[in-house]
Chains A and B, each alone.
Chain A
Amino acid sequence: MRKNVCFKSAYLPYLLVLPQIVITLLFFIWPALQAISESVVIQDPFGLYSRFVWFHNFVTLFTNTDYINSLIVTLIFSLAVTILSLVGGLFFAVLANRVTRGKRIYNALLILPYAVAPAIAGVLFRFLFDPAIGIFPYWLHYFHYTWNFTINSRQALFLIVIISAWQQVSYNFLFYLAGLQAIPRSLIESAALDGAGPFRRFWSIIFPLLSPTTFFLIVINMLYAFFDTFGIIQIVTQGGPANATQTLVYKIYQDGFMGLDFGGSAAQSVILMLVIIVLTIIQFKFFERSIEY
């Protein structure tokens, strides 16, 4: 199974793994254990008093309407982002896969949003959709539609979905393009010979062949929407209006750093760790990212 093991040294391998292991223990494992232990106690903000309460913090969370709201917001948000960015990515990939001239330029422009920080993307869109001077609200005015995401919760959620999907389109585009290029040309050609038009070929051959890519991207996009959209929310809505855009990660930050509710925040961290563990297991089980240890 492993043919490469070949050097012998009593101390060298330990020295080589040391930096990464120290960092892992200090900044990953220890904080994770800390979160787990804090999630089962109640303490005051100054750490002067703490009491072991079993699963009290978790029970509190799931009976708290704010948390349930945040859970629902996160689910709607991540589903919308995933669907929208998958459709966008696939759309561009199918088109880009058809062209030969200008391919490099198209690809370069299509992957651009990936390099923009979520927080910066938030700033860009905040400007475009600003109720006072934004260009989109101005245009929408012609259709007698009033846009103000700072007071309208649906519009706020819609806006952060758009921004997040915008970011992910690039990523999905690249993976779909790679998926499309892996489909043997002979398959498409023989279907064309049998008289299947472009749409028929797409739905009955190409799309099914892309399903491994699609499943993989669904997991990745869910992870992105759950964890990497903090900057967008912080810049654009700060979780508002009326908690309409308060995702789970945003709530951890608010409760932990603003509310100084360490027990509640830690319990939320533990729940999110479970979410990410499940998603990671799915990712490895179904996509054969096999680690044969």
Chain B
Amino acid sequence: MKRGQTARWLVRAVVIILAGWATVALWLEVERASATLWLPDTPPSLWRFDSPPVQALGSALQAVDQAVPRGSVVVIEANELAPSELFFLMMWCSYYLPRHDVVRPHVGTEGPRYVWSYPEGSLRLARASVRDLATDDGGVVGSPR
């Protein structure tokens, strides 16, 4: 009987300690979430919804959405970004341009392609494929800057 009670208190003690630990963990995560700071050069792979670059991108892409015909292929170009970061930027752009197919420059597609440069915001029409980049310069359409 006594051994049973000891075991019971032992189990309780372990679970109470773990519960306290989890409470502190929650407190720390809430603190971290409420105090997130964003640096201007945060790469796209670390962007979050509440971050300034995303808000700027969303606004800039509204103009692009209006400027190109529905169902177009929009190529995202960003010479300042590493290829892996360009991939994340492309996915963010795709989220904000749901009426269009959004791709990276080297990805082959069919038909005409619109090329949008980040962060300048220039938009141009590329005639056919990746290898045929004869373009009509459409000027700056949406700039997140």
Partners in one complex: no
